[in-house]
Each structure stands twice: as C-alpha cells, then as structure tokens.
C-alpha cells in the first residue's frame, strides 16, 4: 500500500503543487485592489505547505530557517531549486497541503507514512497585508521532528525549514517485482508559501475539509471553548479503473466519518467524468480513519477528499 501511495504521489506532485500555487497567485492579485480598505482583522492567509524528505548525511549544512530567493510554480521546480542552491541530496516530496487560515487559527494535518502518523500544525500568529508570522510543528509518531515559532515570511515568499531525522522516510529501488519502496530514516524539510488575502475570500478553510456532525450528518454547532480534532486518515484504498480509462483532472468527494473510523454518506462534489464516479466512491468507502474528536470524545465528522488523476493513475 505504501508503495502505491508514495509512487503515485511523486508522479503527480506537480499537478498538486501547481494547483495550490495557482490558488495562491489568485490570492495575491485579489488582495492588491482592496489592500487600502482592509483593517487588521480583515486579513487571512492561504498557505501552501510542502513536506519533503532528504538525506542529511550527504547534504550540505544549512540553517533551520531559510528564505528562498525564488518562489516557483511546481514541486519539481522547487525541488530542483533547493537541490541546486542548498546542496540537498535525495530530496523527495511526501505530502502537499493548501489551507486558508485567519489570524490565530491553528490547522493540524495528518497523513500515514510507513504505518505511523506524520502530522503538522501551523498557526499564523500575525497577518498583515505585507507578511505573515507563524508557528509550525511537525511530528512523526511520538517524535517531534521540527518546532519553530514566530517565523516571518513576506507575502508570496517561500520559507524553507529544516527538521530532524525520523523513520518516516522511504527508499525506492528496483526489485524482482519492479519498483519497490522500503522504510528508511530520513530528515525532514518543509517549505511554506503564504499568500495574504481578505478573510472572507479564503478557500480551503479547515471547516471546508472537516467539521463535527451528528449521526445524520447535520452540523454540530461549537462554542468558543470547544475543541475539535479532525479525523486522521489511516489507510487510503487504491482506485482501480478499467484498462484504457481516460484519467484527467480530479474527483472531489465528501463523506461522514463515523466514531469507529468508517466512511458513510459518500457524495461526489466534482468530477471530470461521471463514468469514473462509481470506482472513486467504492474506494473512498474503504478508507479507514482515526475518528474525529470533539472535546476528547470520538464523534461523527465530515471529510473531503480530492483525488488527482493523471495518465499514470490516481493518487
């Protein structure tokens, strides 16, 4: 399973990264016209986060916090730039996320790597029309790989963060069954690119991805003192399309994650071809999660999944 997920992610990383960066570019232009009219609490930020692994034993030494002189359009371009300018060896993308946040709002993202959970938390502490100051923490299982506070990045400027080694890495080799992947200790590298915009025009808000519901899918209202932790993906089932199926664009689905981590009430929100929907729904129903928690108790919650398609296959 890990082999299929990681190989597909690496093949399709540019599609994901380009989509996130395209959203950020639109954010930059949308705020420019209204910047003079905004008050401090009117600002929000779209953040593009890229998670990489690299071989720190063979790489040149560099600081924990670095500001890149260029912000590029794809993960491959970013990887090439970092390798060329910082002497980073065997840099590979592992996870990409674009999220829209307001000042003081934290977002936690979790993804399985090598049968354990990799997670990160990002919190924009100060947002102005020119820059963003944020805190960032990354963990693998019970190990803290990276923790930085009060890092400032200008609007549409990329900051690169160096983390510690962990068992989240994966090594690719050619075996008797073709391309294979095995777990390997690797160091963490993270890039963060913010795009300031109006808070009311933010996309990919945490509530768009997941929010608590009752067993019928009705929204549960939360108070200021309530704490909600979204469901964490444990196992992503592969999609199996018929040979010759034309794969392009992406399919976005939503569902309800039950307190025992299963998926119900699946709906297709967007699709390039309705003929692909049944297989996507079938796979999504097989996903397994650690359930969402509301004030420490397992609860029903929504979850939105976007499956990017390409000629090589879905991720």
Cβ contact 155:195 at 8 Å? yes
What does the DSSP 8-state code read for residue 36?
A: G
> pLDDT by residue (tens digit) across 235-289?
777 777 777 777 777 788 999 999 999 999 999 998 988 988 999 999 999 998 8
CATH code for the domain in which residue 292 is found: 3.30.2420.10
Cβ contact 305:287 at 8 Å? yes
Closest CA to 52 of 165, 191, 185: 191
Is residue 51 assigned to a domain? yes
Domain with 91, as residue range(s), is 2-202
What distance in Å separates the CA atoms of residue 67 and residue 59, rounded to the nearest whole number? 18
Query: Considering Cα of 64, then 70, then 71, then 72, what sign does the dihedral take?
Result: negative
Q: What are the start-end ranges of the H helices in the chain?
A: 2-32, 75-86, 206-209, 277-285
What distance in Å separates the CA atoms of residue 54 and residue 89, rounded to the nearest whole number? 6
What distance in Å separates the CA atoms of residue 170 and residue 198, rounded to the nearest whole number? 39
What distance in Å separates the CA atoms of residue 124 and residue 85, rounded to the nearest whole number? 28
> How many domains, the chain?
2
pLDDT at 96: 84
Q: Is 58 in the same domain as 136?
A: yes
Query: Among the three residues 172, 202, 232, which one is the final residue of a domain in this structure?
Result: 202
Give me 146's structure tokens.
């990276």
Q: Is 176 in the same domain as 237?
A: no
Query: Among the three residues 147, 168, 202, which one is the final residue of a domain in this structure?
Result: 202
pLDDT at 20: 64
Please tell me the total number of residues recorded for the chain in this structure. Answer: 315
What distance in Å separates the CA atoms of residue 65 and residue 83, rounded to the nearest whole number? 16
Tell me the pLDDT of the chain (315 aa) as tens digits.
444 444 444 445 555 566 666 555 555 555 444 444 445 568 999 999 999 999 999 999 999 999 999 998 888 899 999 999 999 999 998 888 889 999 999 888 877 788 788 989 999 999 999 999 999 999 998 899 999 999 999 999 999 999 999 999 988 777 776 667 788 999 999 999 999 999 888 888 888 888 999 988 888 988 888 888 888 877 777 777 777 777 777 788 999 999 999 999 999 998 988 988 999 999 999 998 889 999 999 999 999 887 767 544 444
Is residue 315 assigned to a domain? no
Cβ contact 14:75 at 8 Å? yes
Q: Is 56 in the same domain as 175?
A: yes
Q: Is 191 in the same domain as 238?
A: no
Q: Is 277 in the same domain as 228?
A: yes
- End-to-end Cα distance, the chain: 11
Q: Is 94 in the same domain as 242?
A: no
pLDDT at 206: 85
Total Cβ atoms within 10 A of residue 149? 11
Q: Is 119 in the same domain as 181?
A: yes
Cβ contact 66:230 at 8 Å? no
The bridge status of strand 250-257 relative to strand 297-308 is antiparallel
Q: Is 139 in the same domain as 14?
A: yes
Q: Model pTM greater than 0.85?
A: no
Is residue 73 assigned to a domain? yes
Q: Is 278 in the same domain as 129?
A: no
The bridge status of strand 250-257 relative to strand 292-294 is unpaired
Give me 284's structure tokens.
């999504």
Q: Which helix (H) or strand (E) holds 7?
A: helix 2-32
What distance in Å separates the CA atoms of residue 93 and residue 40, rounded to the nearest whole number? 35
Q: Is 164 in the same domain as 267?
A: no
Closest CA to 59 of 80, 81, 85, 86: 86
Is residue 291 assigned to a domain? yes
pLDDT at 305: 86
Give me 9's structure tokens.
């992610």
């Amino acid at each position: 399973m890990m082999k299929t997920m990681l190989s597909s992610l690496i093949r399709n990383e540019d599609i994901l990264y380009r989509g996130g960066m395209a959203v950020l570019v639109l954010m930059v232009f949308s705020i420019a016209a209204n910047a003079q009219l905004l008050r401090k609490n009117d600002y929000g930020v779209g953040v593009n986060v890229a998670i990489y692994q690299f071989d720190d034993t063979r790489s040149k030494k560099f600081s924990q916090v670095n500001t890149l002189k260029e912000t590029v359009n794809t993960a491959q371009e970013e990887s090439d730039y970092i390798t060329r300018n910082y002497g980073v060896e065997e840099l590979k993308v592992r996870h990409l996320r674009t999220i829209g946040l307001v000042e003081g709002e934290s977002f936690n993202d979790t993804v399985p790597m090598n049968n354990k959970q990799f997670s990160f938390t990002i919190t924009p502490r100060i947002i102005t029309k020119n820059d963003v100051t944020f805190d960032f923490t990354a963990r693998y299982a019970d190990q803290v790989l990276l923790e930085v506070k009060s890092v400032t990045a200008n609007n549409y400027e990329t900051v690169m963060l160096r983390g510690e080694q962990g068992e989240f890495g994966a090594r690719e080799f050619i075996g008797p069954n073709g391309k294979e992947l095995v777990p390997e200790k690797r160091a963490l590298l993270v890039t963060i690119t913010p795009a300031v915009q109006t808070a009311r025009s933010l996309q990919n808000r945490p509530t768009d991805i997941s929010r608590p519901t009752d067993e019928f899918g009705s929204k549960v209202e939360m108070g200021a003192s309530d704490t909600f932790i979204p469901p964490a993906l444990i196992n992503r089932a592969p999609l199996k399309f018929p040979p010759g199926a034309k794969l392009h664009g992406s399919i976005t689905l939503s569902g309800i994650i039950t307190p025992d981590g299963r998926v119900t009430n699946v709906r297709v929100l967007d699709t390039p071809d309705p003929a692909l929907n049944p297989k996507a729904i079938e796979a999504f129903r097989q996903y397994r999660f650690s359930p969402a928690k509301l004030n420490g108790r397992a609860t029903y919650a929504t979850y939105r999944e976007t499956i990017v398609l390409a000629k090589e296959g879905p991720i």
